[in-house]
Amino acid sequence: MTHLTEVRCAPRANSPFVSRWVRPLCTLVAGLGLALVAATGFAQQAWPARPIRLVVPLTTGGSNDLMARILAERLPSVLGQPVVVENKPGAGGNVGTEYVARQPPDGYTLLLSSNTHVINLSFFAKLPYDPIKDFEPVSLVATVPFVMTVNSSLPVNTVKEFIAYARANPGKVSYGTAGIGTPHHLSAELMKSMTGIDMVHVPYKGAAQIVPALLGNEITVTIGAVNTLLPHIRSGKLRALGVTADHTFTVLPEVPTIAEAGGLPGFAIDVWLGVLAPAGTPRPIIDRLNADIRRIVFDPQVIRERLNVMGVDPAGSTPEQYMEVMKADIPRYAKIARDAHIKPE
């Protein structure tokens, strides 16, 4: 295709007609082309021209929220605009997620999500958004260790002892989660399906509400993010029984895996956090965000002073790698949900 800036005057440029009409027209068209190119370049350079919203689909205090606030503190120095964290909890993360899906794809509204983004396909019969088609992946940002934890007053010290306790007290054991479809929920349901124990689900609006409930003996157990539970585990008020991954964690090296401690081979739930944008967000914006976010989460100071303290591991990816993770998790968690006899509501 011929670019406007490549327009040339007619070969016989000496004729009066060309001199009077064609040459000025060529000059005008070429000038317009240069103006369009300049305007396009300016538009690309202008983003961001106003504050960016980073939506967390859960309440304050959880892993999503804490990670979002780290990014909100660091991104302004490289983007030149404030990044404002907005918590929009509800319906297991669906309220905030749908909100972002419906926003203009201009780079000014982002989502800090987790596995729940794709897990919800197995818990809800109809989602108000498509977790794949309605979003552009930006980058994974962290992986979050999950740990099975009880109040220290409960007479159990191991996963096997907890399973025995639950079997001896059918219907009296309750587990707290950050909502339907969250990794907390899926982890507990996986344990139920693998052991046959009976536990009552107590969903909260966010992870921050689980800890007070566990400390107050309102619930028996939770399988939750280590960062919210760790201070109370170290103080002795709560007791960690096992971790959900297939390996032990550096922040709790003495705590075995649930698979090992409970005699439950194959028990493993990996929890990731990542940033998403509405579908159709221009690739240059996605690429810039990807580079800046990865630079932040792998900054040695951020890792040492923020992530290690939270017990969270940094993670980074290309947008394509992030999309592969989401697509691979859909059938994986769907199988876990089916095995647990979970019927979408």
Q: Residue 99 sits in a domain of what CATH number?
A: 3.40.190.150
Same-domain status, 136 and 150: no
Same-domain status, 121 and 70: yes
d(CA 64, CA 23): 61
Same-domain status, 256 and 277: no
In angstroms and rounded to an integer, the radius of gyration of the C-alpha atoms of the chain is: 26
d(CA 329, CA 125): 18
| Cβ neighbours of 213 (radius 10 Å) | 16
CATH, residue 198: 3.40.190.10
The total number of structural domains in the chain stands at 3
CB of 81 within 8 A of CB of 112?
Answer: no
Strand partners, 277: 136
Same-domain status, 308 and 241: no
| 17 occurs within a structural domain | yes
Question: What is the sign of the dihedral through the CA atoms of 77, 78, 84 and 89?
Answer: negative
pLDDT confidence of residue 45: 55
Same-domain status, 94 and 133: yes
| 344 occurs within a structural domain | no
Residue after which a domain boundary falls, among 261, 296, 329: 261
- The token pair that represents 337 in the structure block: 């949900």
Q: What's the angle, vertex CA 222, arms to CA 56 and CA 126, rounded to 5? A: 50
pLDDT confidence of residue 38: 39
Same-domain status, 120 and 31: no
| 18 occurs within a structural domain | yes
Residue after which a domain boundary falls, among 210, 229, 261: 261
Read off φ and ψ for residue 106, nearest 5 degrees.
Answer: -115, 5
Q: What is the 3-state secondary structure (H, E, C) of 173-208?
A: CEEEECCCCCHHHHHHHHHHHHHCCCCEEEECCCHH
- The token pair that represents 277 in the structure block: 């944008």
Same-domain status, 66 and 37: no
Same-domain status, 84 and 66: yes
| 218 occurs within a structural domain | yes
Same-domain status, 152 and 251: yes
d(CA 56, CA 62): 10
d(CA 272, CA 324): 13
| 292 occurs within a structural domain | yes
| 266 occurs within a structural domain | no
d(CA 343, CA 227): 30
| Cβ neighbours of 155 (radius 10 Å) | 8
- The token pair that represents 290 in the structure block: 């990807």
pLDDT confidence of residue 7: 33
| 345 occurs within a structural domain | no
Alpha helix (H) ranges present in the chain?
16-17, 23-46, 63-74, 76-79, 94-101, 116-119, 159-168, 183-195, 210-215, 226-235, 258-261, 283-297, 300-302, 308-310, 319-339
Same-domain status, 36 and 116: no
Ranges under pLDDT 50 in the chain: 1-44
Same-domain status, 152 and 254: yes
Same-domain status, 30 and 40: yes
| 114 occurs within a structural domain | yes
CB of 135 within 8 A of CB of 127?
Answer: no
* CB-count burial class (<10 Å; 0-12, 13-18, 19+) for 290: buried
Q: Which residue range(s) make up the domain with 11?
A: 4-46
Read off φ and ψ for residue 142, nearest 5 degrees.
Answer: -165, 160
For residue 221, the Cα-to-chain-centroid distance in whole angstroms is 24
Residue after which a domain boundary falls, among 230, 261, 292: 261
pLDDT confidence of residue 27: 45
Read off φ and ψ for residue 159, nearest 5 degrees.
Answer: -65, -40
CB of 243 within 8 A of CB of 249?
Answer: yes
The closest of 252, 247, 249 to 267, measured between CA atoms, is: 247
d(CA 127, CA 120): 8
